[in-house]
Amino acid sequence: MAVASAGSPALRTACNLVLLGLILQAIQVGVFLAVGFLPFGSAAPRLGWVALGAIGAVWVLLVTRFSFATLRGGEYQAARRPTFVFALLSILTIGVFSGLCYILAYHEIGQIPKESLPAPSSATPLPRATGEKVCPICGTASPPGAKHCGRCGFVVH
């Protein structure tokens, strides 16, 4: 997580909403798998429930990787689009509540840069050492190999 943005209310809210959506989907996957493995009825319908559970488990892994982990890694804008896609697909399938959590998280992710990053500096300093990176937001020089600005937490390239 980015250093300066770690205390951001929007970041905490977005992470919590994505996590809540993941928990709701994991419960749903558990129900599908439990129904599929119950020894009642014929094997064909049970196989369908197991298949839905397996698809749901893959879905949970994708949301974790492309939304939650990316968000926690500080790449807020990179997490925004997948969160929106997961929201729409969840709402269109049977995960309405998790989809609503993702929609709200998408909104909160959009608020992170507005509330946590300082105003852009008018005079951007030049890098002092070879490989040193300068943050395009606040103008602070970061050491070689740094992925995030030490002052504002923005991803530096």
Task: Provide the percentage of residues in the chain whose pLDDT is more than 90.
Answer: 36
Structure confidence at residue 1 (pLDDT):
35
Same domain? 37 vs 102 = yes
Same domain? 50 vs 97 = yes
Same domain? 89 vs 16 = yes
Average pLDDT over the chain, rounded to whole? 81
Structural domain of residue 132, as residue ranges? Answer: 119-157
Same domain? 61 vs 101 = yes
**Model confidence at 26: pLDDT above 90:** yes
Which is more confident, 40 or 18? 18
Alpha carbons 69 and 64: distance in angstroms, whole number: 6
Same domain? 67 vs 138 = no
pTM: 0.66
Count of domains forming the chain? 2
> Which are the contacts of 119, defined by CB distance < 8 A and separation ≥ 6?
none
Which is more confident, 143 or 67? 67
Same domain? 96 vs 126 = no
Structure confidence at residue 19 (pLDDT):
94
Radius of gyration of the chain (CA): 20
Tell me, what amino acid is at 122? S
